Amino acid sequence: MPLAHFDGALAVVTGAGSGFGRATTLALAERGATVIAADIDLPSAERTVALAKTLGSSGAAYQVDVADAAAMEAFAAEVKDAHRVPDIVVNNAGIAVTGPFLDTGVADWERILGVNLWGVVHGSRLFGRQMADRVANLPNKPDKPNLGGHIVNVASAAAYSPSRTLPAYCTTKAAVMMLSECLRAELAGSRIGVTAVCPGFANTSIMKNATIVGVGEAEREALRARAERGLRMRNYPPEKVAERIVDAIVKNKPLVPVNFEGRLLHALSRVSPSSLRLLARIPSPQG
């Protein structure tokens, strides 16, 4: 069953200080949810909560590194103790590492796996357990069954479209998509929905903060500037991604490709994977 009503719901969003995370936090706040904005940059999370309050929502900001297991354990416990078990969790925090696989070092792999995959694992495991326990401990009424909640994991169109320039990023996002499918099957009995959202190119700061490997400093900055310019020209706002996330929660969708290229690449991955393998050879950044 979908969680169709946001009024009075408690929503936790990671990476809420900017981009998809801020837009999703505000979209949920606008619909009446109380929002918990988590980000490694606390002032940015606080600004998101301040904006949410202008929409009539209440909420709180937390500083947390989603890659840090102990920090996530403490964060999940604090949310439950200071507020309650959340109804919605959006595991959105993510980073990018771009460049050839053979030039991507162990430290680069550890960081992107920590944020993009382990961050989703921690958020899903900790809050998913809280949600499942809540359902198990409440009396179930046949005419009004308990709704366990909804978990949204933000993946990417890169989850199903390989790229020679984004091997680490694609790998983590493909893992998030498969984790979401597995978790959806496991938690269905607790009436907890799970959705993987897969945006294509969107106007966020992900490339501004990306790690670029395999090139010198001058070329690195030129690549960064070109990628940022491309995202601005694409001009797909994070607010549109947030709307798709809200819709996915309401309709309990398992997988949501977002925007034209997200849907096109998903269709090609199903009907013509060989064409994606050819496209993967083109050395151009993607979202």
Residue 169: active-site member: yes
Q: Is 249 exposed, middle or buried (0-12, 13-18, 19+ CB in 10 A)?
A: buried
Nearest to 123 by CA among 207, 39, 225: 39
Distance, CA of 287 to CA of 285 (rounded, Å): 7
Cα gap 170→256, rounded to integer Å: 17
Secondary structure letter of residue 103 according to DSSP = G
Cα separation values, 164 from 37, 223, 261, Å: 34, 15, 18
What is the residue whose two structure tokens read 């890659």? 67
DSSP 10: E
- Which whole-number Å values give the CA distances from 22 to 15, 86, 282, in the listed order? 8, 18, 32
3, 87 in Cβ contact below 8 A? yes
Rounded distance, CA 70 to CA 87, Å? 22
- With vertex at residue 216, the alpha carbon angle to CA 212 and CA 220, rounded to the nearest 5 degrees, is 40
Q: Looking at 62, 160, 169, 236, which residue is catalytic?
A: 169
Catalytic residue positions? Answer: 169
